[in-house]
């Protein structure tokens, strides 16, 4: 009977450890990014640039782009109301999710594939930079919401948290546009084709 109790205790402890590891891993990888691809079919007599220009579904302001990152940040808050009526944040959590769209080259010559692979590696770095900006936004929102002071009502506290989150997202969209300007949409990072 004693051995059985020890085995049950070990199994329970092992299960608890596995659950904790799984929860920690899920929190670290929560949100992505998820990769998706569009297909570009190479031709020996056509440049990679014109091949991707024709295949890319990414169009903005009359320009064609070869990669795109779309990220979103969501936040949730919990609060408690004190006996005196003041309401304060007890927990805040942000989650980022996103999709990175990249090209996939098919029917390429070995030379085309080598050049494309170098380009794609640089394009992935550039797009991950966009996703990193989103992660920074999520971290700032979480920190800022947690530091909100107590307010007279929980409705006012929730409104302040949401306004703070929205304003922070606006700030990081500006940072993202500056990132594209500073890198010439990835060109300075090697994400360009002649």
- Model pLDDT for residues 88-146, shown as the tens digit of each residue: 999 999 999 999 999 999 999 999 999 999 999 999 999 999 999 999 999 999 999 99
Do β-strands 87-106 and 68-81 pair in parallel, antiparallel, or remain unpaired?
antiparallel
Q: For position 85, what pLDDT does the model report?
A: 87
Q: What percent of the chain has pLDDT over 90?
A: 81
pLDDT in tens, 48-96: 999 999 999 999 999 999 999 999 999 999 999 998 889 999 999 999 9
For residue range 44-59, list pLDDT tens digits in order. 999 999 999 999 999 9
Quickly state the pLDDT bin for 194 (edges 50, 70, 90): confident
**What does pTM read for this prediction?**
0.83
Q: What is the reported pLDDT for 149?
A: 97
- pLDDT confidence bin for 31, thresholds 50/70/90: low
Residue 30 has pLDDT above 90, yes or no: no
Mean per-residue pLDDT, 26-42: 76
- For CA atoms 104, 56, 70, 191, the dihedral sign is positive
* pLDDT for res 181: 98
């Amino acid at each position: 009977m004693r051995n059985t109790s020890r085995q049950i205790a070990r199994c329970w402890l092992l299960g608890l450890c596995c659950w904790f590891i799984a929860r920690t891993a899920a929190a670290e990888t929560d949100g992505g990014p998820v990769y998706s691809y569009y297909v570009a079919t190479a031709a020996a007599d056509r440049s990679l640039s014109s091949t991707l220009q024709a295949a890319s579904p990414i169009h903005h302001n009359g320009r064609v782009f070869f990669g795109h990152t779309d990220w979103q940040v969501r936040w949730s808050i919990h609060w408690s109301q004190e006996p005196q009526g003041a309401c304060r944040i007890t927990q805040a959590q942000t989650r980022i999710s996103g999709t990175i769209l990249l090209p996939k080259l098919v029917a390429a010559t070995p030379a085309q594939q080598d050049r494309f692979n170098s380009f794609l590696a640089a394009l992935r770095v550039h797009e991950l930079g966009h996703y990193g900006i989103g992660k920074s936004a999520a971290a700032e929102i979480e920190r800022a919401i947690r530091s909100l002071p107590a307010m007279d009502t929980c409705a006012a506290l929730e409104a302040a948290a949401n306004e703070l989150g929205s304003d922070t997202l606006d700030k990081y969209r500006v940072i993202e546009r500056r990132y594209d300007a500073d890198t010439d949409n990835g060109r300075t990072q090697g994400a360009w084709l002649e």
